[in-house]
Structure 1
């Protein structure tokens, strides 16, 4: 989104999270390398990025309206970059000219969070228009659309917004931002959009993709999610969404969470079955900061390389350089790219290790067969029919075979248009066929007598460009037809093969002509099978722990004592204070004790009945790692407007004033278990605290890492503050340290 402002064994385990090569599949450890930020060659900041592959075989990246370089101070209107390999990028201009805007946009409107797709035979860019003519006061966001024949334009705005500004029930305008388009297997188009004020909704689109039709459906609750992206994988619909503050400088805790559904309209639920629309909203972390240089890792896009490996593109902040120019100005959010793995059926970045910093295996963007048909048919043999090259693509009918054989598991793919053919597609080893059957309306896979097929969307225009991908792993074949290889499947088919096949690819078209382009065969990726281990709790450290059986242990110390806090019957009961630690006020009490040296895990169990749906800002209770009033990390279940969240907030001094931001760690219950896993960074001695939460004390959700300088000595404590009305008391069962 744009820049909106709103209020021992353990060491080895956590060390895995920071390793530059954590859980990299063995097959990916050789070949080209890359290093984040991916956009460093052309931009210091490139927020809200998405990437598509064009007809010319190049990859194109789009970012939000911001200056590209420090000191430039010129806002770009959807800056666009191009790359042949997803590693080296070149800025190729802005999507829109200085005076180019749709009729409903106010002068000076910015364009945020572009999403670029293939819809109805052309490229469509969905974009947030930050200021429209609907209101003189501003804040009247809308979702606009522009169309183009190529990924670099020329772009032409549609005259009307796809989603117009929406008045908010509580005043102002709902945040109609962060569009993301999706096409389903039945050919229907959808648009996801929205943010904290109003939540994330989905609406169906007209066949041309330029108008919202029907009634929108809320798929993610307000005050928690934005920056949505939906894809279809393994029969599920996956809603990726970012949460917390995108732009809090050195305290930005933005992160990506996910829920899944059997329908594009939801309901989407997380790994523990908690809905993303519940007041205690769910969301399984996919990408969150891990203690290296990158914080605020969010607002993602998606792509698949030629080996079939999925990747997540997103922005993040360097915590040592969080602003583009002056402090507390534009947040500097370069584009990052990392591996997206599917482990136990759920997506996670770098097998759970999080954002990478350091040299890593690059995406596969060139196959052993890699044909753009720019000039000749060298390397190909026509076995039937007539084939020719025209306008940078192959046109013909009959059969054509590559002379290159790729052994083992393979992925073959092609861009395909059936300009007159009744059927066209790919062959492997001369015997396995995957073809788009226009007459039958199906995607068909065949291996001798073995056949499998799936329906094509009723409205599919075979003359439009589509992407066909075929993966063979052992004897299992999976084929997918999509508009532009962005996770929106039009048809999927699986077939058990008679025997494995070598990767000699062929092209076939019957009953007329077809166009082929960007044909490739590459070794299929070797997926990560195991996630990096989560922090584990070792033996209890009784000398540092307190079960609250006989008053407070003598090692506790108060910052601003609160006589209302009492201990009896094994429970610390603490009425939530009308006070806080954030900002310059520093009126809240903190109950502290020294932490053990080295690595440890500290845990508490807190009961706090915050109800649901009602507004009771910002009552909370939980753990705190505390240096002083302006440097702490607070893990608490908290009421934020109508939601109940587990927030891992961080305040630290920067440029002469405190900055505060948060990271979200799971969904709370009335009773919630909280953990902080402490690790000393062996390189520089920094204190790293990773947060975890649980609704039952057994299954845990682990979130982001906040750090403290090596020359500080954080103590561990408890807090209960944020607002006195309505009266509520937090009950802590214990504080336990483990090593």
Structure 2
């Protein structure tokens, strides 16, 4: 409970010799300057580095963990991987996390270890991971395993049993998807674990103080068939569930996206920015990241890291659509790790303010301190008053403080962020920003179990406190003052999961430029490490532009019965125009795959310039019965095996808007989809925007609306240079139950394509 009282006064090369435990140092990519990164950040040491998890270790390094794919083409499967970096440009690959001798005892010989998540809990590193097949049942029965280590690189020792055992499905004939774990700690110190998949939805449960045992009932957070790769953070008193949707691994047609919902509770219910629940069949989700037309597609399954300036970064995997597969063995997706900053806009996380994955040199996360401070050695300069502390088995060299210390230079006025690790067995630590008359004083007192913030503006003071849960050794403390806003957090993992937090506002507070002062109380003093002082990051406050309709370029209002200007591919005689609508019974077949019995109604695109096509479609997907994959909507069509379709679709129990892409690939076909917003229960409005890029590719971006006014824009699919695809309509996916789609119009508009 927080109480307030006032008083007056980121060069790929062969790595075939890599073995588990090998240390490899690699340099920054040649295309980026020393102070820049370039996606994909893991290309210097790996071909694929998927499902990344991240933590800043107590030694100051950033550790990034990845799923059990071959690290490089021609390599064998590794039992999950770990690498580290200090600046997100230079990397060390450290090896695999498990081998045949350290695998969980309950894992079968055929199992894979997927999707790691890393936390620092109760004085040790706790690794959660997916075990795809266990000895506990017959048949594939995924579970969540847990292992511990004294150091972030391991060695990790798994427990004798999974923390989340395989869960039978409702029919008792199989098992629910129990994969993709993610931990979280709440402000009351309670630990949680999240897990799940399309088969059964995502769930959460409380876990024990050491993070190794599930201690409560499982709570369902999302409906099945929409989210996997879930991750939870706390931001501005809200809990955000972010999950990946559609397919992770379809090579050049991978359409992964990340969407979010938020709640006032870590166990939900989570709703999107329109108030739609993630448990509703018309399932909600606010877009966080989607592919934007550059080389990266299939962006998702993420973690979040916070840099020294307080900027949140999405750490995620993507696929280069020009090089989607490992050369050997072919068929494994090449999914390296990417990073990009998050902007919190109107209370929602948006990667690069909605621009999506970056390409080319970028400004990296802030990892070093201002004011000349050497974060890993506080006695080396920039600080006055620290002496060398004891060598710590986790942190290495530390600094000790008895009495007072301060920065040698003054921090800037008004906006300052301080972050440091403090040993919990030391005495209280006080940080002072500004002056006694205009400033903030923060005291973390492990002995008393309190986190206290006292602010002063013109002498007028106010005090806020929170309970500081006990920790066996290290805790991270963050103090951020931004004008009148003061945020103080204490945590073990520092992954947007504070165990204690004070957030207060002191009207009129304006910090003068002054040194940052520290005090270590008690006879033993305080032991600190990894200190940074930085100006808080400035984030975008508005989303990047999206395509907007301009002058109408024609279309069809369906007020004449002959469908002039339209051409059928496999005409459906039951489709008719009447009363200003095209009514088209949903057909049995569809376009996906080698056999294509379904009809397509086509017309020429207006030009090779920038334009938008829009339609409004009604399709009743609420009839009892199996409507799986019944759908209707727009199609961009070069042929039965080269198209993109945007449709309102039933996917098992959910109703979604999918932007699917099929194209020839190797000796067959590749199909995948991306999710774009939420359909209306009655009418759904669909838009596709067109653009030709500098390489002559035709780019198509999808948008949807459930009210005709508010639009969600999502993924971009590319068609190779050449013949301009035609534009059309589809109504397909299964004729039972009997249902028809009604199209009100098809309209084309001029537009301007915003650059990513």
1:334-413 equivalent positions in 2, closer than 5 A: 334-369=336-371, 370-372=373-375, 374=377, 376=379, 378-382=381-385, 388-391=389-392, 392-408=397-413, 409-413=415-419
Residue aligning to 2:480: 471
> More displaced, 183-192 or 96-105?
96-105
2:601 aligned to 591, 596, 600, which one? 591
When normalised by structure 2's length, the TM-score is 0.90
1:625-704 equivalent positions in 2, closer than 5 A: 625-669=636-680, 670-681=682-693, 683-704=694-715
Residue aligning to 2:431: 426
How far the C-alpha of 1:475 sits from its partner, in A, is: 3.8
Matching of residue 158 in structure 1 with residue 166 in structure 2: no
Residue aligning to 2:96: 94
Give, in whole Å, the separation in 1 of the partners of 2:623 and 2:317. Answer: 32
Contact 1:79 1:94 in 2 (8 A): yes
- Quick one: structure 1 residues 684 and 378, their matched pair in 2 at CA, closer, same or farther if it must change by over 3 Å? closer
2:512 aligned to 491, 501, 516, which one? 501
3-state DSSP class of the match of 1:351? helix
How far the C-alpha of 1:374 sits from its partner, in A, is: 4.1
Matching of residue 84 in structure 1 with residue 90 in structure 2: no
How far the C-alpha of 1:474 sits from its partner, in A, is: 2.9
Residue aligning to 1:112: 114
Matching of residue 515 in structure 1 with residue 527 in structure 2: yes
> More displaced, 393-402 or 465-474?
393-402
Give, in whole Å, the separation in 2 of the partners of 1:375 and 1:358. Answer: 35
Residue aligning to 1:227: 229
Give, in whole Å, the separation in 1 of the partners of 2:623 and 2:563. Answer: 34
How far the C-alpha of 1:463 sits from its partner, in A, is: 4.2
Matching of residue 532 in structure 1 with residue 544 in structure 2: yes
Residue aligning to 1:320: 322
- Quick one: structure 1 residues 337 and 378, their matched pair in 2 at CA, closer, same or farther if it must change by over 3 Å? closer
* Alignment length (residue pairs): 701
Residue aligning to 1:8: none
How far the C-alpha of 1:440 sits from its partner, in A, is: 5.2
3-state DSSP class of the match of 1:250? helix
How far the C-alpha of 1:541 sits from its partner, in A, is: 1.7
1:303-358 CA-partner distances (Å, limit 9, x unpaired): 01111111000000011111112586111100000011111221111111100111
Residue aligning to 1:610: 621
1:351-382 CA-partner distances (Å, limit 9, x unpaired): 11100111111111111244445484544333
Contact 2:117 2:182 in 1 (8 A): yes
In the alignment, structure 2 segments of 5+ residues that lack a partner are: 1-31, 751-756
Matching of residue 213 in structure 1 with residue 215 in structure 2: yes
- Quick one: structure 1 residues 430 and 97, their matched pair in 2 at CA, closer, same or farther if it must change by over 3 Å? farther
1:71 aligned to 52, 69, 74, which one? 74
1:732 aligned to 733, 743, 748, which one? 743
How far the C-alpha of 1:31 sits from its partner, in A, is: 8.3
How far the C-alpha of 1:694 sits from its partner, in A, is: 0.6
Contact 1:679 1:687 in 2 (8 A): yes
Residue aligning to 2:567: 557
Contact 2:118 2:125 in 1 (8 A): yes
1:39-78 equivalent positions in 2, closer than 5 A: 39-72=42-75, 74-78=76-80
- Quick one: structure 1 residues 99 and 552, their matched pair in 2 at CA, closer, same or farther if it must change by over 3 Å? farther
Give, in whole Å, the separation in 1 of the partners of 2:74 and 2:195. Answer: 32
- Quick one: structure 1 residues 262 and 608, their matched pair in 2 at CA, closer, same or farther if it must change by over 3 Å? same
How far the C-alpha of 1:490 sits from its partner, in A, is: 1.8
How far the C-alpha of 1:552 sits from its partner, in A, is: 3.8
Residue aligning to 2:724: 713
3-state DSSP class of the match of 1:360? coil
> More displaced, 275-284 or 505-514?
505-514
How far the C-alpha of 1:604 sits from its partner, in A, is: 0.5
3-state DSSP class of the match of 1:530? coil
1:447 aligned to 451, 455, 462, which one? 455
- Quick one: structure 1 residues 126 and 677, their matched pair in 2 at CA, closer, same or farther if it must change by over 3 Å? same
Residue aligning to 1:435: 443
3-state DSSP class of the match of 1:47? coil
1:212-262 CA-partner distances (Å, limit 9, x unpaired): 122101101111100000000011100010000101111000111101111
3-state DSSP class of the match of 1:647? strand
